[in-house]
Structure 1
Amino acid sequence: MDGNDLAVFTRAVQYAQEGNKEKAFEFIKALAQKDANNIDFILWGIYTAPNTERASLLLNRAKLIKPDDLAIQQAEQWLTNEKNNWPQPGEGFPFFPPKKYIAQNMGQSTTQVILPVQPAVPVQPVMPTQQIYIQPQTFIAPQPIIINTAPVYSCPYCRSPYPPLTSTRISTGGWITFAVLLILFFPLCWVGFFSKTSYQYCGQCGVKFN
């Protein structure tokens, strides 16, 4: 582990001790990509893992590397307590997480190191809100359709569709009055001409209907 990695590792431990395990796990994961078999990276990864499933995977890897390591045994006990919601020892475990390793290496390191700079999060510009005017829709009721259900007229003789015409003529009673007055009192025989009746006839063929 060079000086820069040691500084990153030290910062990760500080984050973990301050309770910021999420940030610490990001640093540990970055270091583990360079040295996947580093037992200290794995132990601190177990301690700062976001969930017990991830911690169990790291614990199994640690057992493959150092199956008899006391720190791994204590890490397994710590993880068992976490899974079952059992209380952890008040004084903690002496070898988990491995704090002594950090203290020793911090005293030995004199190399100037550069900590990784977190990428800046781009700030999305706030777009001004636009007011959208929705024009209300105007509904026009359809015009009613009038269907003429009256029977269609047709002349019974020529089948003309035109309605019959109406006219007047001297009624039968008028002719009788004319004949009687002509015999009895000639000067008033013309009175019978005023007695008229109406009748209809076809304007196409001229046939009288009554």
Structure 2
Amino acid sequence: MLTVGLTGGIGAGKSEVSRLLVSYGAVLVDADRIAREVVEPGTPGLAAVVDAFGPGILAADGTLDRPKLGSIVFADPERLATLNGIVHPLVGERSRELEQAAGPDDVVVHDVPLLTENNLRSLYDLVIVVDASPETQLDRLVGLRGMTESEARSRMAAQATREQRRAVADIVIDNDGPLEKLEPQVREVWKELTRRASRGEWPTE
């Protein structure tokens, strides 16, 4: 089994790379999806978040009001750290369960938005960073996700810098251009991943 950490800044296109790798045969462990699961109604995770931030972060139906919570934590590093301290251990536990269920010859891709920020490099055999310029990220967040420029800049500022992400990368995928330029890169990366998995070749500490 080869374990891969896949990361990239918000708006860099990591989800599209993840989708392509799955289409080629990768086993995906999606930290964002798991992060939603561990704070669903009735979970200890949601109870802990409400205890830390108050019942005002709940929607009328009892689910987590993510936009409201986001507006709180992304403007306050200490509160963001509090939230991460609750959610990340739960995500890590569930991620390990999913990884252990994979086969011995599988390439397991962990889609981890905050891999760099949380110093998680050592958890994976290698790390892929999906890279785009801050200008491209901003354009995508405003144009495709409907954020205001202020919201987009706040989200970007809460993450690692482009240089910090590239510093932990074993493989960098350039996604500054159009989608048609991305797929051939990812296909070549997949060939490399399967080669390394079959031969047991990857960087070691």
TM-score band w.r.t. shorter chain? under 0.3
TM-score by length of 2: 0.27
For the pair shown, the structure with the greater C-alpha radius of gyration is 1
- Structure with greater proportional helix content: 2
- Structure with greater proportional strand content: 2
